Chain A
Amino acid sequence: MSVDTATVAKIAALARIKLSEAELAAMVPELNGILAWVEQLGEVDVTGVEPMTAVIENHLRLRDDVINADPLTGGDNRDGVLANAPVAEHGFFGVPKVIE
């Protein structure tokens, strides 16, 4: 499968990366080169093979339902959460107005 300019433009839009015409044009052959190369995976017979889920034998741990059990992953941290915000006002993050 190879991609054309329109497809790359669609993918870039989906990934929210604005590309200039020139960047777009340059990206098409690069992506096609990489895609053509990864497509050799199609040669592998994977009949009956399950996709990898956990690379090392391990089980998903569940945590107890306790508020702020670890301050690093708890709330009550508005200043910390907003500290690096490009725009923060009245305790909120600010973004350009969204019309729903």
Chain B
Amino acid sequence: MSNYRIQGATGEWEVVIGLEVHAQVTSQSKLFSGAATAFGAEPNTQVSLVDAAMPGMLPVPNRECIRQAVRTGMAINAQINKWSRFDRKNYFYADLPQGYQISQLYHPLVGEGTIEVILDEKDPEGSTKTIGIERIHVEQDAGKLMHDQHPTMSYVDLNRSGVALMEIVSRPDMRSPAEAGAYLAKLRQILRYVGSCDGNMDQGSMRADVNVSVRRPGEPFGTRTETKNVNSVRFVMAVVESEARRQVGVIEDGGQVVQETRLYDPDKNETRSMRSKEDAHDYRYFPDPDLLPLELDDAFLEECRASLPELPDAKRHRYETALGLSPYDAAQLTLEVETFQQFEEMLDAVVKASGKAERDLAKRVANWLLSERAGVLKGIDQGAAHPKNTVAANVALIVAANDGVISGSKAKEIFAAYLTSDIDLAAEIEANKQTSDTGAIEAAIAKILADNADKVAEFKAGKEALFGFFVGQTMKAMQGKANPQVVNELLRKALA
């Protein structure tokens, strides 16, 4: 349970949050027409006669959009409704050519499901919470209005009109900004794993309507407001916080929260009432008579299920148990699709190159990706996008380090040099090959112990920490090319 409370003048308040997330379904063409969905096209070039609602135009649903919504439902363990319907939501606005949005009210495609979130992503072993999903339905996106291109007119671009959206409606199960943020992040992660939405929040591919109310702990729900179109995890958290504080202020000042639609202003970090949408909402939903009920057969559902990838929770669990990674590393590696894909690709290549078992290599690859290489890339202008940051280069260095050919820190050095200069990677590895020649190392050790007799005495008297000093001196004498493990062993013997 969350202990998040708003401290008001009259005491503590609990915040109650539900999210309605609109996620653009990944598809080539629109939900009911063959026009393209690509982002950033010239205005009204991706508009069919259907999307412009010309007289006599009719909708025909896109199978891929239905399939992606079903797969998403399966990924959150939701009930898939084999019989659903499209309804019309009627209202007038310039971005809505038909005068209605085709949506699903009465019989949504996907019923109840759940998502488990980790409340603190830095502490993957910490507490988790299950957030209920009420439904997922499929609907049309609206077009776009531009207000600042003409002094007296708004311009209408219908490129987005008719693009497929999934509306994912949560239960009012969240109790803090952190929970709301964790939920949205987890949802995005799942959608990206499934491939049903690209999750690009800055392009509007995912946006959340944030329902917030406050109450005294233990009391019934208060009146909620809905803040529309919030387009980042950070903003969702900010909306919850600022809107909850505003509501507490209203109530404590003797007022009442009005059920209304609000808009978030990130510059001022506050929400404001949306007057223009306050049109005595009466959407007159009814089943779209242009479309028959949507009936899905078992073969369709079976294909949807079979095509689901390994999902985030399962993958994280497998990384911990089968690969022996720490919960923290497993969580980090599975956060983004690109990260786990790189990890698995590299691990696979390293396994092939070294002939060793995955489990014996996973930790090495994980360290390389999450810390060693990450450190190098941080200092590079292009970061991970550097053209020489190839799987092959990474694998060569990981294998060399893992086989003891070079040390881990040497691998890091070489990688940095490789990215920023013209050196040949294989030659550089060869040149920095570390030695396991015990004779040379023993000679170096003998000299160091002789030169530092006082420290040897201290060590033998119990100052264990000096061991690191001897290792460092030996490595230095060997110009960094000695195998640290061998150095360790020989030093222990010599100091015994």
Contact = CB atoms under 8 A, between A and B. Distances in A.
A73 interface: yes
Interface of B is mostly: loop
A75 B63 contact: no
Contacts of A90: 43, 149, 155
Interface string A27-64: 00000000000000000000000000110001111111
A6 interface: no
B84 to A, nearest CB: 10
A68 interface: yes
B323 to A, nearest CB: 36
A91 B151 CA distance: 17
B202 interface: no
Given A59-B295, A63-B61, A65-B64, A95 B45 contact: no
A22 interface: no
B493 interface: no
Interface string A6-34: 00001000101000000000000000000
Contact of A65 (B28, B274, B287): B28
A1 interface: no
Contacts of B42: 78, 91
A80 B287 CA distance: 30
Interface string A68-100: 111011111110111000010111111111111
Interface residues of B, number: 55
Interface residues of A, number: 41
Interface stretch (B47-55, B244-252, B352-360, B443-451): B47-55
B427 interface: no
B330 interface: no
Nearest to A58: B292
B85 A53 contact: yes
Given A91-B42, A91-B44, A73 B154 contact: no
Contacts of B47: 75, 77-78, 81
Nearest to B46: A75
B158 A89 contact: no
Contact of A92 (B28, B54, B156): B156
A100 B276 contact: yes
Given A53-B293, A75-B47, A78-B47, A67 B28 contact: yes
A70 B34 contact: yes
B154 A81 contact: no
B41 to A, nearest CB: 8
Contacts of B85: 53
A74 B33 contact: yes
A54 B289 CA distance: 9
A61 B34 CA distance: 15
Contacts of B153: 87, 89, 94-97
Nearest to B44: A78
Contacts of A62: 60-63, 66
A93 B145 CA distance: 9
Chain A CB within 10 Å, residue with most, of B28, B85, B154, B276: B154
B398 interface: no
A89 B150 contact: yes
Contact of A98 (B45, B66, B147): B147
Chain A CB within 10 Å, residue with most, of B29, B46, B150: B29
Nearest to A69: B34
Contacts of B45: 75-76, 78, 91
A89 B44 CA distance: 11
Contacts of A92: 43-44, 146, 149, 155-157
B155 A67 contact: no
Given A62-B62, A75-B45, A78-B45, A93 B155 contact: yes
B422 to A, nearest CB: 44
A80 to B, nearest CB: 7
B421 interface: no
Contacts of B48: 73-75, 77, 81
Contacts of B52: 81
B411 interface: no
B103 interface: no
In the A-B complex, the 5 residue pairs with the closest CB atoms: A75-B35, A65-B64, A92-B155, A62-B63, A93-B156
Interface of A: 10, 14, 16, 53-54, 58-70, 72-78, 80-82, 87, 89-100
Interface of B: 27-29, 33-36, 42-52, 54, 57, 60-66, 85, 92, 94, 145-147, 149-158, 263, 274, 276, 280, 282, 284, 287, 291-295
21 contacts: A14-B280, A62-B63, A63-B60, A68-B29, A69-B29, A74-B29, A76-B35, A76-B46, A78-B42, A78-B44, A78-B47, A80-B49, A81-B48, A91-B43, A92-B157, A93-B44, A93-B94, A93-B155, A94-B155, A98-B94, A99-B276
Given A74-B35, A99-B276, 18 more contacts: A10-B280, A14-B284, A54-B293, A60-B291, A60-B292, A61-B60, A65-B63, A66-B34, A67-B29, A68-B36, A74-B48, A75-B34, A75-B48, A76-B45, A78-B44, A95-B94, A100-B263, A100-B274
